Chain A
Amino acid sequence: MIIEDVLCPFCGCLCDDIKVEVEEGRIVGVKRACRLGSSKIRGHERIRAPMVRRDGELFETTYDEAYDRAARILKGAKRPLLYGWCSTVCETAKKGILLAEVVGGVIDSTATVCHGPSIIGIEEKGLSGSTLGQVKNRADLIIFWGANPVEAHPRHTMRYSSNSTGMFTPEGRRGRKVIVVDVRKTRTAKNADKFILIRPGTDYEVISALRMIVKGKGDLIPETVAGVDKADLEETAGMMKAAKFGSILFGLGMTHSRGRYKNVDNALSLVADLNGFTKFVVMAMRGHYNVAGFGQVCAWETGYPMAVDLSRGAPYFNPGETAACDLLGRRETDAMMVVAADPASNFPRETVEAMAEIPVIQVDPFPNPTTFLADVVIPTAVCGIEAEGTAYRMDGLSLRMKKVIDSGLPTDEEVVENILDRVRRLADDN
């Protein structure tokens, strides 16, 4: 049996045209997906059973005992942190936020070590964006800034950006100009009409120089800016103003180099400025397939998109104080639940050391370095393959993920709900 139009649960492209071939309840073929997506859909090593740690070792146990341990850990904690939510569906995030309210915890997503600075930049300036289809149909200039989609979002260029075709872009790549700005010549840069090599940590200066040229103050710019010749910057600004529909698609190269949210603020300002001359949009190249969805759910439920402290019963948002790394860095957190993420691989070393000192609950289909730190491990069905639900693409478009095969495992949503039920029962007992 071939199931059509399956959504891919890998990156923020959220491709929705995948064909999956299923025989006797197993996936035997995947078409159209990139190698990253295909690998996830075909499946790899899984956590085999719920586990709890005793005397330093993980032992297999029942779901009931795992739920119970998890609930006791969260209920007993003074400052629990509920973290992750990027590789699961929005329905899980909703339950997670409610659980954070009930236990008086802090909830945060992987955006905190990813596009969190982009969100803060948006708080400063707003964002002039569009859906990806608008880029596909109209953009004649595409600038990848600190982003390398050829390796991180392999189908992005064909489906949505530089190499796609649309109503007003029938020539595809030939009808477009592509500029790549990065600190090294990436594979994406090889497909570009113009590559601008900048020194690491100089995004802010380069963006500022472009803003000045765009606004007619180019005579104040020195002959080189952050290693880039003024003539290159002038040519780039000229291409931007000459475009009918330009777009800047930026990645972690911009958000995680020196300047962080100020870089994003400056890039958003550049795009706002450019709209005085022509049409321009800007978009963050989100990584995990539903990291954007957690931000959406968290915003409509709590008012804020990440790093929400619910310990006072009312949402409090102050990244720098209430983000996951802030709490761990201050050794403030005394228990952590990790859902569909791997902080042990991605967090700063000091915060991972803090995780090692506290009880950690992991809810995930796959083992990863966080498993080594976890005291309770609860395996789940893979969202988008073994469980359905909602995900938000990098441009904010929501789609419904399908269930393709049955794993017999509980979904992330069911696991969080089970823990929530037990926490509530423990509260009633007291």
Chain B
Amino acid sequence: MIIEGGIVYDPINGVLGEEMDVSIEDGRVVEESRDGEKIDARGMLVLPGGVDAHAHIAGAKVNTGRIMRPEDGRRGTEARTKLLRPSTGYTVPNCYAIGYRYARLGYTTAFEAATPILEARHTHEELEEIPIVDKGALTLFGNNWEVLECVRDGDLDKLAAFLAWGLRASRGYGVKVVNPGGGEAWGYGGNVKGIDDPVPNFDVTAREIIRYLMRANEALRLPHSVHLHTNNLGKPGNYETTLATLRAVEDIASSRDRQVLHVTHMQFSAYGGTGWRDFESKAPEIADYFNRHEQFTMDMGQLIFGSATTMTADAPLEYGNARLLKAKWSNHDIELEESSGVVPLVYGRKNPINAIQWAIGLELALLTEDPWQMIMTTDHPNGGPFVNYPEVVALLMSRAKREEELATLHDLASKRSSLPSIEREMDWNDIAIVTRAGPARILGLAEKGHLGVGADGDVSIYDINPEKVDPSKEHEEVKAALAGAKYAIKGGEVVVRDGEVVAVPQGRTYWVDASVPEDAAARVKADLVEKFAKYYSIQMSNYMVQDAYVTRPRVIRAGVI
């Protein structure tokens, strides 16, 4: 296949809006293609396939959201066709809708952000049903008893061996840490108040958990860094916890050519104020810190007005949301491992808190100077559904659009944030980084996010001419063009044409198999045998995700030997 004459942005390979051909053969980008299929992309924007590094798309809490929200299911209903299964849902779409909608946006890779090991089988059952995109799942470790005990005992080797085992058991891709220590405390209805608050019954702190997990992650040379949801997330004044967390790990070095820590959906962790009354943005302080510390990355967690379904392993946060909003509340604690919660809500333009939150996400993205440090997400469906990515891109590219939106919001959005004064408008190269190259590099996916020879043949083509359209002024054209790709190509196959899905291949699932020394693995196994005998409610032999649940694996090797 040859994609001819498009205007290509491929930041990893230093291509900045050049008119050039892209050739694909056997699913990968090649120097020159011999076969005849040609796609005319003249006058169109050509990007690597989009990569979503953080979205809640599969597993127990996503399905809990569907089950408790039939009213959401009714939004976004599309009938089946000869090719497609039916679609339902807006914030919690069914599996088929997830795949089709990503493809229509030109996204070809999406990672589920949080799965407990014990329930990873369920996560993979859903990932298998999501068509088209390649995917993976990050595994939760921040409240696991084995982790807490290794940290308490200062046993880094055993901790690393347990991470390797947990990734294999869950067929997981990376180490996710959510409100470390808080999930364990929630087992008795408590929480931790900061990084130095002791975790009940385990005599460790979040500071120690995060540091040890980062050191173990780097000892294993995992493709992705630790992926952190901070303590105190969602609370006024939490920017101090966020900055304290980052300062606590400044001395830890990355083992690979990537960040040493990814702080996720930063919008929810960049709040000032002593309560909701004096709630304000502290995005400038966070961005300033990132501008001085290149070893850290973050994603936006941009808020989208309208319906959302919040879902997170941060169960005490969800309980707080439900109390505050008098909303439906689901909670699910997972023995020895995690807790979690789901709360539907509506973000309102005239709600002062929501309006400030909206501004914070954009401030973070625009004030962080290096786009490689700051990638685009809505923390789907927490900030809002991923189908709104074109809206976010338009906001990042146009100050005029931001001003138009600000005019419709509660005026505290302008008074309690710096957004009105921010002039920066991202260009297409920035957008290619924050939606493709950046997430691929942050996840450590070598064959994603670029169009160099050997890259996966994942390409998105949009019917918009970057040389003619001025995104600053013509932001509506930008949004419209990105909402339905002219073509989306996955592994060299056209999957979307003129905004419609035309082919439904099955994507692959990434997971990381890390090797560890035998003695450390044996010590972990001895611990686990005891835990299954005494505490788990299932047998150890039935715990690990079986091969039957990952039918098209892409295994990435890592480890210490």
Contact = CB atoms under 8 A, between A and B. Distances in A.
A128 B336 contact: no
Interface stretch (B87-95, B246-254, B352-360, B481-489): B87-95
B322 interface: yes
B542 interface: yes
A299 B86 contact: no
B125 interface: yes
A160, A165, A314 pick with most chain B CB within 10 angstroms: A314
B542 A314 contact: no
A348 interface: no
B78, B92, B121, B546 pick with most chain A CB within 10 angstroms: B121
Interface stretch (B33-41, B62-70, B214-222, B235-243): B62-70
Contacts, number: 185
A244 B63 CA distance: 29
User: Which label, helix, strand, loop or mixed, suits the secondary structure of the A interface?
Assistant: mixed
Contacts of A16: 538-539, 542
B73 A303 contact: yes
Contacts of B333: 129-131, 134, 281
A17 B95 contact: no
B252 to A, nearest CB: 31
Given A131-B334, A314-B88, A315-B86, A123 B67 contact: yes
A357 B241 CA distance: 68
Interface in B165-217: 186-189, 201
Interface string A179-191: 0000000000000
Contacts of A317: 70, 73
Interface residues of A, number: 64
B270 to A, nearest CB: 28
B329 interface: yes
A7, A304, A310, A399 pick with most chain B CB within 10 angstroms: A304
Interface in B483-506: none
Contact of B68 (A101, A123, A392): A123
Contact of A101 (B86, B332, B535): B86
A279 B43 CA distance: 60
Contacts of B93: 303
Contact of B122 (A132, A279, A296, A310): A296
Nearest to B339: A130
A386 B129 CA distance: 25
B539 A126 contact: no
Given A90-B125, A131-B333, A245 B536 contact: no
A305 interface: yes
Nearest to B190: A279
Given A17-B539, A101-B85, A275-B319, A398 B121 contact: yes
Contact of B67 (A98, A244, A295, A388): A295
B66 A278 contact: no
Interface in A164-183: 165-168
Nearest to A13: B537
A331 interface: no
A124 interface: yes
Nearest to B89: A303
A202 B541 CA distance: 44
A397 interface: yes
Contacts of A244: 188
Nearest to B122: A398
Interface string B281-297: 00000000000000000
Interface string A65-94: 000000000000000000000000010001
A387 to B, nearest CB: 13
Nearest to B331: A128
B541 A4 contact: yes
B260 interface: no
B542 A399 contact: yes
User: Which label, helix, strand, loop or mixed, suits the secondary structure of the B interface?
Assistant: mixed
A122 interface: yes
Contacts of B534: 165-167
A128 B73 contact: no
A281 B331 contact: yes
A317 B94 CA distance: 14
Contacts of A398: 119, 121-122, 125
Interface in A296-320: 296-297, 299-305, 310, 312-315, 317
A295 B93 CA distance: 16
A53 interface: no
A416 interface: no
A304 B72 CA distance: 10
A230 interface: no
Interface in B86-106: 86-89, 92-96
Contacts of B277: none
Contacts of B186: 279
Contacts of A128: 329-331
Contacts of A245: 187-189
A302 B537 CA distance: 30
Given A133-B537, A400-B546, A300 B336 contact: no
Nearest to B334: A131
B187 A138 contact: yes
A78 B68 CA distance: 31
B77 interface: yes
A335 interface: no
A132, A137, A310, A388 pick with most chain B CB within 10 angstroms: A137
B332 A137 contact: no
Nearest to A119: B67
B537 A132 contact: yes
A216 B67 CA distance: 32
A288 B211 CA distance: 45
Given A123-B67, A301-B129, A134 B334 contact: yes
19 contacts: A122-B68, A123-B67, A123-B68, A126-B329, A126-B330, A126-B342, A131-B333, A133-B336, A136-B335, A138-B188, A165-B534, A166-B535, A281-B331, A300-B62, A303-B92, A305-B67, A313-B80, A388-B548, A399-B121
Given A300-B125, A314-B79, A398-B125, 12 more contacts: A101-B80, A130-B331, A133-B537, A245-B188, A300-B94, A302-B88, A303-B73, A304-B88, A313-B79, A314-B87, A317-B70, A398-B122
Interface of B: 58, 60, 62-63, 66-70, 73, 77-80, 85-89, 92-96, 118-119, 121-122, 125-126, 129, 145, 186-189, 201, 319, 322-323, 328-336, 342-343, 534-539, 541-542, 546, 548
The 7 closest A-B pairs by CB, nearest first: A133-B335, A303-B88, A313-B79, A133-B537, A279-B189, A303-B73, A130-B333
